Structure 1
C-alpha cells in the first residue's frame, strides 16, 4: 500500500471505530459484534505501529486507559472556578437584567447555554497538548485527574488547529448519557453492587476512580463552555465558543445568542419541556453577558460573577395513587421493592412504576396501602416516590411491611451489617437468581455466547433443560427436546450450540466474571486471575492472601471465600472444567527483541506520560529484562514515574538502587 492508501485506511478505521464507540457507549445500540470491533481495532493498531507519523491523536487506540493513580495531586486553579448565582423564577431574571442595564447601559447581549448536570472540569493546554485536567474542588484548588480525563473520547489530546494560543485553559462539564447510565447501572445491580442514583453521581464517581482502564470502560462525555487566556483573543464569549469549536472541542450546539431578556425567557421556556428529548440531563439554563469588556466592567462578588446567572428548573413532581408494592429478586439475590402506580404523565413519559430502593426507604416513607404519593423525576432516571400525602390516606389502611421471606422461593431473607439491601441466600434454588446467573454467564461482557438470548434462557429453564450454567454444555445431548421448543428451528439450535462450543475458548478472567460471584465484576476478575493464575489457587487462598492481591478489599475477599465454601459451587466448577472451560491464565509467550537488558531486574512505580505500565513491562521483558514485585538488594533499577509511592523511593535510596525514567529506559534500549 502507498502512504496515501495507508492514511486513507487509518482515517476510515478511526472514523468507523469512533462511530461504533458512540453507538455502543452512548446510544447503547451496537451495530457490530465485539469480535468485529476488536479485529478492526487490531488492524488500526498495527497500521499506526508501522506508520507512527500517521497516527491520529483522536484515534480509538489512544483511549484505553491503563494507568493506576495512587492518589490525586491537589492543583491550585490559575483562575478561580466560581459558582453561579441561582434563581427559579422569571422575576429574578428581570431583576438581574435591570442590574446589568444600570451598570453598563442597554447595549449588550446574552449568551444562553444549557446547564449540564455533571462534573465541572478545567483543562489546561500547552502548545496544543493537553497538559492537565483538574476538578473544581473548593473553587480555588482541585484534584488532578488528567490520566482519567485522557480516556474521554470527546476531549482532544492535541488541538487540531493552527491559531490557538501557546497556553490556554478551557472549562467544561463531564457527564454521562442516560442510555449509558442505565446500561452500566444495570450491570452494577447484577453484580450485587449499589446502583448510582443518577448519571451525575456515576460520572463523578467514575472520574475519581484510581484505575484509568476502568474509567475508559465507562463512557463519559464532555461539553466545553469557557475559554481562559492570559491575553484576550476575542471580543465576546460567543466568538470564543465558535473558535474553540473549530479547534476541535465539543461545544453544545444548542447555545443561543440573545438580544433581550425576553429572548432569554423564551429560550428557558422552550427547553423546560424539550430537555426531556435530550440524551443527557440538564437542570437549567446559564445566562452570560456576551462582551468580555462588559464582563470585566461588571466584575465579581466574593463567590460568583456579576455578569452571569443560572436559571434552575424545578424537579417535576406529580401526585398519583400507590396500587401495590412488589419485590424483584436480582441475580445476586438482592430484593428490591418497586411501587406500582396508577399511570401518570411525568417529564414527558407515562410513569407506572417507581423504585423504593430498600427497606430503609420504605420505612422512611411510612407507606400504607392505597396511599396518595408524590413522584419525582428530577436528576433521577428512574422515577422515585419522594413523600406521601397523608391528608388523603384512607382510614384504617394497613402499613406496608417489607417481607421476611423471599417472594420467589420462600427462603428467609438476610441483611449483612452495614448494608441497606436484604438478600435471598438460596442462590442455587431461587428461580430468578438461577435464570439471572445463566443470563449473566452468557452475556457479552462475560462468556459472549452467540445464539442464546435472555428469553431463550428463560424458556430453557421453564422446560427443565437447564438449571445451572454447567447444563449449557450438555445441551448438545438433547437435540430432540430442543426441537420440541416453539420457534426453535434447526438453524437456531445449530447457532446456539456453536456459540456454546466457542465459549470454551474464552479466557479465565471471563469465566471467573461469568460465575457471578458477588462483588467480582470485570475489573476484579481480571485482577484476581493475574494474581492467582488458576482457579485452584484462588479457591484455596486465605483471607490474607486474597487482600494481598491488587485492589482486593475485605468485602470482596469475604464474598469469594463464602462462595467457595459452598460445595454446590465447587461441583459446578468441576463440571465446567470437565466441559473444557479455561480455569487457568494463559501467559503470553514473550518474543525477545534483543538481549540488551539480559540479567537486569526492574520495578516499575508511578504514572507515565508516554507509556502504560503494561507497555513498559513488555518492553523490558522483550529485551531480556525481568520485572520484580518489590524493592530489594537484588534489584538493578527502579523505573519511576509521577506520583510514585514515597516508601518505595525511600527504600530505593537507602539501598542505593539507581532510579531511572522512561526516557532513560529508551536510551538504554537505543544505545
Structure 2
C-alpha cells in the first residue's frame, strides 16, 4: 500500500481539527459554528479519505467517536452503556445498501426484514436511569462515554416521569431520549427574551441544549422543554419483549412519551416509503426533525448484528436536506408590507436550504439587525423550516471581511417617500403614508370601502384588486371618478353591476366625520376612537391642526395613538389625498363641539356577546357619543349591561350583582330615543 500524499495528510489533519472544534462548540459550549450540512460534508470527506488511506485512521479521529468532553460546570458521569451515534444515509440508494448489508450479515434470504422507523428528533440527547421505579440520574450525551449530570434540571420536565407507572416497575431501567422544544414554545421563549433584552436562540435545538445546562434548575423549569424516549439501554430483569417496537410500547405504559410517528415496515421499499411520507409532513409536525432513524426491529437480530467502533450495525439515520446553511449577505433592501411595515430583506448568494434555493431572507427589524450584529458582506447562517420565510439566524463573525458595511435603516419609505415612524416601545418601523403609498394601496382601499368605513356596496376585494392592477385607481379619490361604461369592461361586471356600483359611490359621498376619519386607516384608530375624535374636535380642519397635547386630551387616546394621528396628518401625501376626496364631493354634517346632548354622562356601560345590528366597536362609539364610558368588565359601578347573542360570564356577573341587563332590541330603542334628544331612560 502506497504512502499517502502529503496533501492528503494535511487535509485529514485539517478536517479532524475542524470537526473536533465543531464537536466542542456543539456539545460543550452550545454555540455551534458549523451548520449540520457543513459538519456532515466534512465528516463524509474525512471518512472517504480514511477509507482510501486506512493507515491514517487513529483512535481519536472524529470518525471513531461521538462527540466531545463535557464541560467542567457539571459533574462528570460515566455511561454504563455508551451513547453511540448512528451512521448516516443521504439518499435512497444508501438506504438500500444498508438493508442489503444487514441481510447479508444475517444471511437472510426469505421474508423481508422488519424495520422500526421513527423521526430523528433535532434536540439534545439524554439518558435517564431509574432504580426500583424512581428517577435517580439524568445525564447528557457528552462524548458518548462520559456525560454531564443534570438530574436536577431534567426533573423539572413534566414529560419525564419521576416515578414509573404500574405496579411492578423494573428494578433497573435506563432510557435514552431527546429533549426538544416545539416551534410554538421556541417562538414564545424568544418573544419573551426580546421583551426583556435576554438571550435569543437561533433555533429550537440550541434553545433545548442551552436550557438543560442552566446551573439554576428554576430557569430550566420555565423553558418549554419536552422529552421523547427512543431507546432502552438497560433493563433488569430482562423482559420478554421480542422487538424494539414492543419495548417502546412498554415505555409508554411506564409513563414515557414516545413518537406517534413510530412505525414498523418491511424491507427497503417499506423504509423508503416511510421516509418519503415523513418528509412530506415534516413541516407540519410542530417540532424539528432532521431525518429518520431506521432500526432492525427484532432484538435478537440486533444482538447478532452487534456494533462497529462508533455505531450499531443494526441502525442507520436517513438525513433530510439541511434546514440551515451558510452563505454571503450581498446587500439589504427594505420592503413595505401591505400595512406599512418596513422589513429589511437580506439579498443572499443563492444557497440550497431544505431542498429549496434561497436568495432572500428576512432580517425582521432594526432591533434584530442590532442583536445579530450583521453587516453587508458577512457570512451568515440561513434557516428555512416549512412555510416559515427564510431568516438569518446568526453571523459567522470570524469570517467578516475588512470591507463589510453597516446596514443603515432608511428615514423615508422606499415606496412613496413618506416619513417612517419609529415609535417608542414598537420594534416594527412603519410608513406613515397609508393613503398614498402604493405598497399599501389595496389594503387602504379595502378598508376605505368597508362596511364600517364608507360602506361602498359592491366594492369587494376582487374588484379592488382588478382596479388597482389596471391602474384605474391609485388613491381613494379615484374611486369617485369611475364611470359605469368603463367598469362594464371588467370581467363579471356588466352594465347593471357597474351602474349599481356608481350609485353606491354616489351614496357614499354623504357620510359622517367619524366614518371618514375611520376610513382614512390611521394606525390604531378604530371606530370608537374615530367617533371620539370627531366629537371632540367637531371638524376635520380642527383635527388636522391638533398638536400631540390636544390629541391626548381626547377620550381613549393615549400617547401612541396621538403620535400616529399627528404623524399621519403631517404627511403632505396624505393631506393631498384628503383634499382630493373633498374635491370629489365627500361631505358630512358638522356640529359644534359639545353640541350633542350627553344623557349618559358619567355612566359606565358594558357590551357582551354578539350584536346582530352593529359591531361591538359601533355600539361602543354610539354609547361614548352619548357620554357613557364603556368598560371591559362588570362592577357595582356599572349602570347597564347590553347582552347580545352568546353573552357569557359578564351577564352572569351582572345578574349576581343586581346590575341592569338589557337585550339588543331594548338597546336599539333607547339609542333611538337618546340620539333623537329624548332624555328619558325608560
TM-score (norm 1): 0.46
* Greater relative contact order, per chain length (Cα 8 Å cut-off, separation 6+): 1
Structure whose CA Rg is larger: 2
